[in-house]
Structure 1
Amino acid sequence: MGKGGRIACIFTPYLLTVGALICLILVALGLYKSSGPMTNVYFVKADFKDLDPDSTGLANDLLPFTKGLQQADAQGIIHDFYLIGFWNHCYGKYDTKSKKYQIEKCTDRKTRYWFNPVDEWGLDEFDDDKADGKSIMPEALDKGVSAYKKVAGWMFIAFVVAFVTTALEMIVAIAAVFSRWGSLVVTIISAVSSFFYFAAAITATAMYTVFISGVNTSLKPYKVKADLGKDMFAIIWIGVAFSLASGIFWMFSVCCCSGRSPYGHTERRNGSISRRTTAEKTPYTYERVSSPYSGARGGGAGDGATAPLTSMPQAPGGRDMAYEPFRHDGRT
C-alpha cells in the first residue's frame, strides 16, 4: 500500500475526530444567550409555570421551604421556567396564547457553573432559622444540589481537556499520513481525549439525573417538574461515539495500512541495502528465451559452460533472430 492508500486509511478516523470536535463545539455554543439557533441545547429544563406554593398536605419539614417559595413567588422572583446550560442559565415566561416558552434573559457566563436555587430565588432571605446551619431546601433537593455543586467543576474541566486534546489530535493526525509512528502518537492523544470525553459525558448525565430527581421528588407537591435536555445529551453521546470510534481506527492504522509500496524489494549491493521496485510483466509480450545452441551466453548452460555449441542464424546487422522467431526479412 502506497502513500495514497495510507491517506485513505486514516481518512475515516480523521473524519470521526472532526465529528467529535464539532459536537464539543456545539456543547460550548449551546444555550448561553436569549436568542439564536442553539437555545434548545441545554442540560436541564425546570418548569415552574404551574407553581402552586400554597398546596396543602405538605410535610412539616417542607414548611420553611414552602414559606420561602410563597414569598418569592409573591414578589415575582420565581420565573415560569429555567434552562440550565454549560456556562449559565436562562429564564423566561410561558405564553398561554401561543403555548410557547419565551426566554427573557440569560445570566453572565461563568466557568465551572452550577445552578444554585437558594441564591437564584433568594430563599435565604425568608429563612428564619438559617443561623442553625441547616439548608432551607427539602432533603432530597438539598442532596441533589450538593452533589451537583461538587462535580460541576470536574465536569467543566473534563470537557475542556477533551476539547483541547481532540483539537490537538486533528493537528498531529497529519503526521500519521507519513508513518506508523505518527499513528502511534495520534492514538495516544486520542485515548486521552476519549477518556476525558467519556468521563465528562457520564458525569454530566449522572449529575443532572440526580439533580432533576431531587427537583421532581421535592417540588412535585408544588406542581414543579424538571427534565433533561434531549438535544444536549444526544450531542454529547454522539460525540463520545465519534471519539471512541476514531481511537479504534487510529490504533488500526498503527499495525496496518503501511505506506510502503507492495512492489518494493531490498537487495544488498557493495555492503549496503538498497530498495528497488519490480514491475509486473505485461502479458503477451516478447521476452528472450534460453537457446540450446547459445551456451552460457544464452543462459541455457549451467555453471561451468564456457563456449556455445553452435551459433544461431543472425539477421543482417548481427541481431539474434531468437528474439522474434516469426520475423521475416521481406524476401519471398
Structure 2
Amino acid sequence: MGKGGRIACIAVPYLWTIGALVAIIFVGIGSTDSDSATLNKLFFMRADLSNVTTVEATRFGDQLLNLTSTAMRNATEELAAALEEAEKASELRDFYNIGLFGYCTGDKEHGKYDVDFCSKPKGSFWFNPLEVWHLNISGVPDLLPTHLQSELKTYQKVSHWMFVSYVLAFAATCLQLLVGFSAIFSRIGSLATTVVAVVATIFMFAASITSTALFVVLAGVFNTSLKDYGVTAQLGGNLFAASWLAAALSLASSVLWLFSSCCCSGRTEARRSSPKSTYNYEKVDVGSGSSTHSGHTTAPAPTFDNTNTAYEPYRHR
C-alpha cells in the first residue's frame, strides 16, 4: 500500500477529530451571543422565573412556613419579599440560560423565550442566583433554602473542574489535529497521534459526565427548593447532545488512530522475482554426432587425429 492508501487510511479519524473539535466549540460558545438564535438554544440549564409574580402569599404561609422552623420561616418570608421586590424593580427577568462561559436572559412571551442579553464570557463561570437575581441587596446572607445553598457551593467548586476539563479537551483535540499530519508519513506518527487522542477522549468524557451529573442534580434542587416561589428549572438538551457527540467522535477517532498505527504502513512492496541465470551449467553427453538432453542440444564429441600418437593424454580406446 502506497502513500495514497496511507492518506485514505487516516482520513476518517482525522475528519472525526475535526467533528469533535467543532462540537466542543459549540459547547463553549453556547449562550454567549444574544443575536444568535442557534447559540441561544445551547445551554446547560434554564431557570424559568416567569411565574414569580403569580405566587400567592398564602401559599408560603400554608405550605412552606408550617414545614420549617421559626428561623427558616423568616428566611422564607425574606426570600419571597426579595423576589417580589426584584420583580417590581424590573431586575428579575423571565428566564436565565446557563452556559459554560456565562448566561443569557430575556423575556418569555406566549411560551417563546426571547434572549436580549448575554453576560460577558468568563472563565470558570458559575451561576450565583443571589448575585444574578439581585437578591443580595437586602443584606441577608442566607436567603436561599439550606439544601439549595449546599448544592450551590458544590456547583461552584465542581464547575471549576468542569471548565478545566473542557478547556483541556479542546487543547488536546487541537494538538491531535497537528500531530495527525505526521501520521501521513509513518505508523509511528499514528501512534503518537493515538496517545494525544486518548488524552483528549479522557478529558472529553470527564467534562461530559461532570456537566451532566452536576446540572441534573442542580435542576432537581431548583425544582424542589424554589418551585413554591414560582421558579422552575429545565435542562438544555442541545448543549448536552453537542458535548456527548464530541466525546463519541473523540473515542471513535482514538480507535481508528490506533488501527492506523498497526496497519496501513504506506510502503510499496516490491515485486520479487527470481533473476534469470546468465550461465547455465549443462551436462554434456560424450558421443558421436549430436543428441538432445533435457530439451537442449549437446555439442558433438571432440575427435582426435590418430596419426600422431607420440603423446595423447586424452585419447581413450
Same fold (TM over 0.5): yes
1:31 is the counterpart of 2:38: no
* 2:95–2:107 Cα contact (<8 Å) kept: yes
1:65 Cα deviation from its structure 2 partner: 2.2
Give the Cα–Cα distance (whole angstroms) in 2 for the partners of residues 123 and 50 of structure 1. 17
What's the TM-score, normalizing by structure 2? 0.80
1:199 is the counterpart of 2:213: no
* 1:53–1:70 Cα contact (<8 Å) kept: no
* 1:46–1:83 Cα contact (<8 Å) kept: yes
Give the Cα–Cα distance (whole angstroms) in 1 for the partners of residues 32 and 123 of structure 2. 12
1:86 is the counterpart of 2:100: yes
Give the Cα–Cα distance (whole angstroms) in 2 for the partners of residues 193 and 279 of structure 1. 47
Amino acid of the structure 1 residue aligned with 2:184: V
Equivalent runs, 1:87-126 vs 2, <5 Å:
87-96=101-110, 99-126=111-138
Amino acid of the structure 2 residue aligned with 1:13: P
Equivalent runs, 1:1-332 vs 2, <5 Å:
1-36=1-36, 37-51=38-52, 52-55=54-57, 56=59, 57-59=63-65, 60=68, 61=72, 62-96=76-110, 99-128=111-140, 130=141, 135-261=142-268, 263-264=269-270, 277-278=271-272, 297-298=279-280, 301=282, 305=283, 307=284
1:62-87, Cα deviation, whole Å (9 max, x unpaired): 33322322222232221111111121
1:127 Cα deviation from its structure 2 partner: 4.6
What's the TM-score, normalizing by structure 1? 0.76
Amino acid of the structure 2 residue aligned with 1:22: V
Give the Cα–Cα distance (whole angstroms) in 1 for the partners of residues 256 and 245 of structure 2. 17
User: Which structure is higher in helix share?
Assistant: 2
* 1:127–1:136 Cα contact (<8 Å) kept: no
Provide the aligned length of Structure 1 versus Structure 2. Answer: 277
Give the Cα–Cα distance (whole angstroms) in 2 for the partners of residues 238 and 143 of structure 1. 31
Give 5+ residue unaligned stretches, structure 2.
Answer: 298-317
- Equivalent position of 2:300 in the other structure: none
- Equivalent position of 2:311 in the other structure: none
CA RMSD after TM alignment: 2.6
Amino acid of the structure 1 residue aligned with 2:41: N
Identity %: 38
Give the Cα–Cα distance (whole angstroms) in 2 for the partners of residues 73 and 156 of structure 1. 31
Give the Cα–Cα distance (whole angstroms) in 2 for the partners of residues 8 and 311 of structure 1. 61
Give the Cα–Cα distance (whole angstroms) in 1 for the partners of residues 122 and 55 of structure 2. 31
- Tell me the SS of whatever aligns to 1:39: helix
1:298 Cα deviation from its structure 2 partner: 4.9
Give the Cα–Cα distance (whole angstroms) in 1 for the partners of residues 2 and 291 of structure 2. 47
Give the Cα–Cα distance (whole angstroms) in 2 for the partners of residues 184 and 311 of structure 1. 66
* 2:29–2:101 Cα contact (<8 Å) kept: no
Give the Cα–Cα distance (whole angstroms) in 1 for the partners of residues 285 and 17 of structure 2. 69
- Tell me the SS of whatever aligns to 2:143: coil
Give the Cα–Cα distance (whole angstroms) in 2 for the partners of residues 308 and 211 of structure 1. 102
Counterparts in 2 of 1:279 and 1:226: CA distance versus 1, 3 Å: farther
Higher relative contact order (CA 8 A, sep 6+): 2
Larger Cα Rg: Structure 1 or Structure 2? 2
Amino acid of the structure 2 residue aligned with 1:106: C
